[in-house]
Amino acid sequence: MKLYDISLSISPDLPVYPGDPPVSLTPLSAIARGDRYNVTSLTMTTHSGTHLDAVRHCDDGGETVDQVPLSLLIGPVRVVEAFQSRDIDASTLSRLPVRGHERVLLKTGNSLLWGKPGFQGDMAHLTPDGAEYLVNCGVKLVGIDSLSVEFFDGDGTVHRRLLGGGVLILEGLNLSGIAPGDYELICLPLKIADGDGAPCRAILRRHEGKTGGEPLDPHSSKWPLA
């Protein structure tokens, strides 16, 4: 069995969405200055780093993060590559093997940007018709390797369509070292009462003997999208 950590490390250097406060780690007590224990205060938003968006993110009456069934957050997941397109629309997704999978992670060129400082605005993202396509495919969770599944100056249409259509959103993934293929996702957000979202530790698990890639054919995640 092999485990892959696809979470971002929480630190003051973590890129944040424009308008959000930076992550802050403030020592409250420290052994180095004579205290008995090291204790640190952590300040961040519910949508910093690797995090889950609950329906409450876009709907005041929607399901909160502490109400999300754990069964949706643990189970088989398909990782697909979409390097060739910045706008991941229905046409792009129709060429990727996402049908028949409840959980889908989108590996894009965004994973190559995590080493750069600050927020990267020119990121690959889902379009409204791409969101519609995933809803119609029966996807229950979609993840992406950026801080937002939607373009950073979008109007929220993609979020509302996904969350309103029963699709949880997992953002801020680091998929740079992950090959396309099938894994088991384990993603546990903090249990924040009435939370609109929550940071989470997301990992992929694969049992030995299973490979990440698939033969190159019209249904492969590596098939040219042009």
Check if 57 is active-site: yes
Distance in Å from the first CA to the final CA of the chain? 36
Closest CA to 186 of 50, 11, 88: 50
SS (H, E, C) 6-68: CCCCCCCCCCCCCCCCCCEEEEEECHHHCCCCCEEEEECCCCCCCEEECHHHCCCCCCCHHHC
Find out whether 130 and 89 touch, Cβ atoms under 8 Å: yes
Cβ atoms 111, 176 nearer than 8 A: yes
107 sits in which H/E element:
strand 103-107
Tell me the H-state helices in 62-218: 90-94, 128-136, 157-164
Q: Which of 57, 101, 125, 159 is catalytic?
A: 57
Q: Report the DSSP beta bridge partners of residue 107.
A: 81
Residues labelled catalytic: 57
